[in-house]
Amino acid sequence: MKFRLRKTISIAKKVLIGLMLFSVFLILLMRWVNPWGSMLMVERKIANWNINQQRIWKDWDQISDNIKIAVIAAEDQQFANHWGFDFKAINRALNYNKNNRKIRGASTITQQVAKNIFLWSSRNWIRKGVESWFTVWIELIWSKQRTLEIYLNSVEWGEGIFGIEAASHHYFGVSAKQLTKEQASLLAAILPNPRKWSPVNPNILTQKKAKWILGQMENLDTKKYLKKLN
């Protein structure tokens, strides 16, 4: 009995180490090779097989600086400065969640990439632990520019709409390179709930957030900020 237990533990350790090494290999590979899709896309497809998914990859230089700085303003203003985790934002979220029924998250752009590309979307401590593993290695292996490039090409912007190029065409009939500041702010404003909110028919909350994002975009100084991501 003890022998079988030791053997089972030994096999489990080897499997775990193998999975860890494979995950690092995938992250290293994606430093140069664009991901074919994301686990979020797979999850959405399984949930609703009849929905056609739209996604067109665009390289960094084919994406407007307006949307780059807009999502940073909306989602993670310390993106250029942290190492994958914004501990001040985490503390603020924890304090807020103690006294409110509505849960506020504090995920950085790096954490969102780790979740969208590699993991499932449910909230639990096991998934958060695995997400942290991927986040650390993404920060070590990828540049900030590469992380944001993959984020913009994988984030969900509506039912079956993934990546900024598909979102730009779907909502505004333009390419990702042609997005204006106003369009970018509206797209960034719906990210908390992209399957319910719309950038072309924005509710009052979306309009207010888009206006706030525009102000933050000006404060961040687009050219100066994006240079720090190289």
Q: What are 157-196's pLDDT values in tens digits? A: 999 999 999 999 999 999 999 999 999 999 999 998 999 9
| 204 and 149 within one domain | yes
H or E stretch at 156: strand 156-158
CB 72, CB 79: distance < 8 Å: yes
| 52 and 26 within one domain | no
Q: pLDDT tens-digit profile of 76-133?
A: 999 999 998 887 876 776 665 666 655 556 689 999 999 999 998 777 788 889 999 9
Phi, psi of 32, rounded to the nearest 5 degrees: -120, -30
With 70 as the cut, is the pLDDT of residue 2 above it? no
| 119 and 22 within one domain | no
CATH assignment at residue 93 = 1.10.3810.10
| 26 and 123 within one domain | no
Phi, psi of 114, rounded to the nearest 5 degrees: -55, -45
| 79 and 174 within one domain | yes
| 105 and 26 within one domain | no
- The rounded distance, in Å, linking the Cα atoms of 216 and 146 is 23
| 46 and 22 within one domain | no
CA 195-199-205 angle, to 5 degrees, is: 85
Please tell me the predicted confidence (pLDDT) of residue 87: 79
Q: pLDDT tens-digit profile of 40-53?
A: 999 999 999 999 99
| 90 and 6 within one domain | no
| Number of domains comprising the chain | 2
| 130 and 93 within one domain | yes
| 205 and 218 within one domain | yes
CB atoms within 10 A of CB 134: 22
With 90 as the cut, is the pLDDT of residue 142 above it? yes
Q: Please give the residue range of the domain that contains residue 14.
A: 1-30
Q: Rounded mean pLDDT of the chain?
A: 91
CB 165, CB 52: distance < 8 Å: no
Q: Quote the percentage of the chain above a pLDDT of 90.
A: 75
| 13 and 80 within one domain | no
The DSSP code sequence of 39-105 is: HHHHHHHHH-TTSPPB-----GGGS-HHHHHHHHHHH-TTTTTSSS--HHHHHHHHHHHHS-SS---
CB 186, CB 194: distance < 8 Å: no
Please tell me the predicted confidence (pLDDT) of residue 4: 74
| 53 and 6 within one domain | no
CB atoms within 10 A of CB 36: 8
pTM of the complete model: 0.91
